[in-house]
Amino acid sequence: MLTHWREICNREMAMSKSHPEKQAKRERPVRPPRVAAPLLSYRPRDPKRYRPGIALVGCGGITKWHLTAYKNAGYNVVALCDVVQARAEKRRDEFYPEAFATDSFHDVLARDDVEVVDISTHPPVRPPLLEAALRAKKHVLSQKPFVVDLDTGQRLADLADEMGVRLAVNQNARWAPHFSYIREAVRAGLLGTIDAIHCDVHWDHSWVKGTVFESIRHLILYDFAIHWFDFVTTVMHGSSAHRVYASMARSATQTIAPPLLAQALVEYEATQATLIFDGYTRFDRLDRTLVVGNHGAIRSEGPTTEHQRVELATIDGIARPKLKGSWFPDGFHGTMAELLSAIVENREPSNSARNNLASLELCFAAVASAERGEPVKPGSVRRLPEDV
């Protein structure tokens, strides 16, 4: 069976080279054999012994997942800080009852037992906090979206170098099991040269009603889609996109302020990517990712980002890896684990601030394109078109 499948693939490849027009007449598709899934390193990887003191700054909604991941990983959270002290105390009581809870950022930075500061406020108030933490020679993990201004991001990345510390971004979808496995499959060369990346997400984002998120005009293309722009950027690893074309619209029946429908088309030299976001899907929710190469294709599909089935098709047959974990909370483990590993190994983290700027370039270009109704070159828009 295996030989048979390989023979058919080889024959079709040869035929498409010599007689492309004969492709239409090829024989009836044969069910490909099931093969073992390649073992790829898609899980978060902790350094062996290094468990530095961590301070969490900004103790809002999302930090439940930071702390769930850190507790599971055996991390040492020693301080929690929020301008609303009760929020810091709440998270302390839930996760690290021995830790110090405060509303004073200054007191956090003054502590010798804090080596790493995890800053999880919203982006507009974050740069001065990032800067102060770096100047205090703390390693820093910043929540996403990292900055609203690429030049500010660049300056912060340079400052981290100057201070001899690491600055990473909590771009946690990178360690969502399906995204991580797909990226590693591409990195391992299993798909060959990448022709296409297509993602479509159909879900309901109305949960933000009445929260700060409802005031973000580009809630979908900026705050949400940054994870997908980052996915495309990491799959394309080092290749620069030439143009981005995006659009957005309000669904006729949506009940919150920001437009919930958005789509983006990204052009590379010889690769195309599309991202579709239907943020007001009431029925039949769906989340799909497909990456196509000349040696294979990989897809992931499920009703939500948390429940995904991955399938890899190559000349050997079809592999269906059984992936462990889920985006929440494992993604939050992955970003901190990578920062800690980079500190120990004295190298730049793969989720470094500098690395993240390429994803933000795509994101800002898409937002500008949706505003202007024309294609935009990534990198040409230095600042998010509208303050958020």
Ligand X SMILES: NC(=O)c1ccc[n+]([C@@H]2O[C@H](COP(=O)([O-])OP(=O)(O)OC[C@H]3O[C@@H](n4cnc5c(N)ncnc54)[C@H](O)[C@@H]3O)[C@@H](O)[C@H]2O)c1
Give Cα 158 to chain centroid, integer Å: 22
* Minimum distance, C-beta of residue 126 to ligand X, in the bound complex (Å): 8
Q: Residue 116 pairs with which residues in a beta bridge?
A: 54, 139
Q: Determine if 212 is a binding residue for ligand X (CB under 6 A).
A: yes
Q: Determine if 91 is a binding residue for ligand X (CB under 6 A).
A: no
Phi, psi of 74 (to 5 degrees): 75, 30
* Minimum distance, C-beta of residue 15 to ligand X, in the bound complex (Å): 46
* Minimum distance, C-beta of residue 171 to ligand X, in the bound complex (Å): 8
Q: Determine if 105 is a binding residue for ligand X (CB under 6 A).
A: yes
Strand, helix or coil for residue 276? strand
Q: Determine if 223 is a binding residue for ligand X (CB under 6 A).
A: yes
Asked whether the bond before 47 is cis by omega within 30 degrees of 0, the reply is: no
**Segment contacting ligand X (CB under 6 A): 13-21, 76-84, 179-187, 361-369?**
76-84
Closer of 138 and 144 to ligand X (Cβ): 144
202 touches 307 (CB < 8 A): no
Strand, helix or coil for residue 1? coil
Phi, psi of 40 (to 5 degrees): -120, 150
Residues in region 47-66 near ligand X by CB under 6 A: 57-63
Closer of 15 and 328 to ligand X (Cβ): 328
Applying CB under 6 A, which of residues 9, 32, 101, 121 lies at the interface with ligand X?
121
Rounded to the nearest 5 degrees, what angle is found at the Cα of 310, between the Cα atoms of 235 and 186?
A: 25
Q: Residue 201 pairs with which residues in a beta bridge?
A: 277, 287
Give Cα 248 to chain centroid, integer Å: 21
Residues contacting ligand X: total by CB under 6 A: 25
Closer of 79 and 319 to ligand X (Cβ): 79
Q: Determine if 249 is a binding residue for ligand X (CB under 6 A).
A: no
Contact mark string toward ligand X, 163..182, x via CB under 6 A: -------x-x----------
The Cβ of residue 14 has, within 10 Å, a number of other Cβ atoms equal to 10
* Minimum distance, C-beta of residue 331 to ligand X, in the bound complex (Å): 7
Closer of 115 and 223 to ligand X (Cβ): 223
Structure tokens at 263: 């789509």
Q: Determine if 144 is a binding residue for ligand X (CB under 6 A).
A: yes
